[in-house]
Amino acid sequence: MPIKTIQPRRLYQQIADQLRGLLDSGEFGPGDRLPAERELAEKLGISRPTVREALIALEVEGRIRIKVGSGIFVTDPSQQNGRKESPIEGPFELLRARELVEGAVAEEAARQATPEDIARLDDVLGRMERSLHPSPQTLRLDRDFHTSVAGILGNAVLVRFIGELFDERINPYFERLSSYFENPTTWSQALAEHRIVRDAIAGGDAAGAKRAMQHHLQLSQKRFSLNFGEQEDLAYTA
Q: Three-class SS string for 97-147?
A: HHHHHHHHHHHHHHHHCCHHHHHHHHHHHHHHHCCCCCCHHHHHHHHHHHH
Helix (H, G, I), strand (E, B) or coil at 160: helix
Find out whether 144 and 131 touch, Cβ atoms under 8 Å. Answer: no
Q: What is the pLDDT of residue 89?
A: 67
pLDDT exceeds cutoff 50 at 230: no
**CA separation for the pair 62, 118 (Å, rounded):** 45
Highest mean pLDDT, choosing among 68-77, 165-174, 176-185, 190-199: 190-199
For the chain, give the mean pLDDT: 84
pTM of the shown model = 0.72
Q: Is the pLDDT of residue 235 over 50?
A: no
Of 41-50, 74-83, 154-163, the least confident: 74-83
Question: pLDDT digits over 6-29, tens only?
Answer: 445 678 888 888 888 888 888 888
Quick one: CA dihedral 119, 125, 130, 132, positive or negative? positive
Residue 77 has phi, psi (to 5 degrees) of -55, -30
pLDDT at site 127: 95
Model confidence pLDDT, tens digit, residues 119-162: 999 999 999 999 877 778 888 999 999 999 999 999 999 999 99
**Domains of the chain by range and CATH?**
11-86 (1.10.10.10), 91-224 (1.20.120.530)
Is residue 168's pLDDT more than 60?
A: yes
Alpha-carbon distance of 190 to 220, in angstroms, equals: 8
